[in-house]
Copies of this chain bind each other. A is one copy, B any other.
């Protein structure tokens, strides 16, 4: 998506250690106009899918998911990072490893909000190693629901997550895929799509 790539080139900041900061428009301050354009593009990319729910994970995916949801006219459910596992049987649980925070989270969704009738679009702001999305796929499948697709704002194409998920047959659509970036020059190369 040209608009997002241009915005990343303009306002994204490449930091040492292959870190791409997009906190001025995606995941700390949020540009709602841009999110709406992304929503239109996801609607186009998943036009043939019968989606009735969007699933994301707290925190930075939530805003994007809510704006995108308007283009599909569906509710959003966000998975929560649990302080402690709820053992009362009311929750679907999975574990997600965060490389950023160097820890493993228990992640939960109430059984009330995912069922076998659901056709789910998973939304997140970033895809790198793919652990968060894999965890969300696991939650959807625990409920007997169907993953119709995965929509990502920014994929780090030089990490393995996108490839692993596509190899499993999932339709993964990333609006910008970074092939490489250089923190000394600030240069960012996007994959042609």
A112 at the interface (CB under 8 A from B): yes
Q: CB distance A77 to B110 under 8 Å?
A: no
Kindly list chain B residues whose C-beta atoms are within 8 Å of the C-beta of A75: 29-32
Chain B residue at minimum C-beta to C-beta distance from A83:
B101
Question: A interface, by DSSP: helix, strand, loop or mixed?
Answer: mixed
A63 contact from B23, B63, B80, B83, Cβ within 8 A: B63
Kindly list chain B residues whose C-beta atoms are within 8 Å of the C-beta of A77: 28-30
Question: In chain A between 54 and 75, which residues have their CB closer than 8 angstroms to a CB of chain B?
Answer: 58-59, 62-63, 65-67, 69-70, 74-75
Looking at chain A, what size class is its interface with the partner chain? Answer: 20 to 34
Kindly list chain B residues whose C-beta atoms are within 8 Å of the C-beta of A112: 23-24, 29
Smallest beta-carbon distance A26→chain B, Å: 11
- A25-39 interface bits toward B, Cβ cutoff 8 Å, 1 = contact, 0 = none: 000111110011000
A113 at the interface (CB under 8 A from B): yes
Kindly list chain B residues whose C-beta atoms are within 8 Å of the C-beta of A66: 30, 32, 35, 62-63, 66-67
Chain B residue at minimum C-beta to C-beta distance from A70:
B32
Question: In chain A between 83 and 128, which residues have their CB closer than 8 angstroms to a CB of chain B?
Answer: 83, 101, 109-110, 112-113
A78 at the interface (CB under 8 A from B): yes
A28 CA / B32 CA spacing, docked (Å) = 21
Q: CB distance A30 to B83 under 8 Å?
A: no
Beyond contacts A31-B75, A63-B66, A83-B101: 15 other A-B pairs, Cβ-Cβ < 8 A, are: A24-B112, A28-B109, A28-B110, A28-B113, A29-B77, A29-B113, A30-B77, A32-B70, A32-B75, A36-B70, A59-B80, A62-B62, A62-B63, A63-B63, A66-B67
